[in-house]
């Protein structure tokens, strides 16, 4: 059975409350409930508002030899060289970068992803469905 970690960055604990016109009304718990329905995979859900914690989890996933990561670095996508370096360091562990909103249609600074080039794939703009798409892809690898 594959083990996949779902790592979420800053402010994603506020899903359902934070800017629902952009991020929707569903919560992080709703996401977890949807993904857990797949019984052919062991999922671990993590969320932090702290950059260093996210880096520690990425490195831990590599050391523990898990099978893949679904990663929403949130605002750190556009600001953190440290997180980009962490994703690069754990290659070839497949990391799929996800974002709920259409980052390519938002503010200019959101169009830049420092982690994208080190990820297996980037999926965005489909709400919570990006997580299921990423999970389906990781299960095929």
Catalytic positions, written as ranges: 23, 99
Closest CA to 103 of 124, 119, 122, 117: 124
> Which residue reads 């497949």 in tokens?
94
Query: Cβ distance 103 to 124 under 8 Å?
Result: yes
Q: How many CB atoms lie within 10 A of CB 140?
A: 6
**How do 68-72 and 2-8 pair as beta strands?**
parallel
Query: Cβ distance 47 to 11 under 8 Å?
Result: no
Query: Cβ distance 104 to 125 under 8 Å?
Result: yes
Query: Cβ distance 105 to 83 under 8 Å?
Result: no
């Amino acid at each position: 059975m594959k083990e996949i970690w779902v790592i979420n960055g800053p402010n994603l604990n506020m899903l359902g409350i934070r800017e629902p016109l952009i991020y929707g009304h569903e919560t992080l718990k709703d996401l977890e409930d949807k993904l857990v329905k797949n019984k052919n995979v062991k999922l671990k859900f993590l969320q932090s508002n702290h950059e260093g914690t996210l880096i520690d989890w990425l490195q831990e996933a590599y050391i523990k030899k898990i099978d893949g990561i679904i990663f929403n670095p949130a605002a750190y996508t556009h600001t953190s060289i440290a997180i980009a370096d962490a994703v690069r360091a754990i290659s070839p562990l497949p990391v799929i970068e996800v974002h709920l909103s259409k980052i390519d249609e938002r503010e200019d600074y959101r169009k830049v992803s420092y982690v994208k080039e080190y990820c297996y794939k980037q999926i965005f703009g489909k709400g919570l469905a990006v997580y299921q798409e990423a999970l389906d892809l990781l299960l095929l690898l």
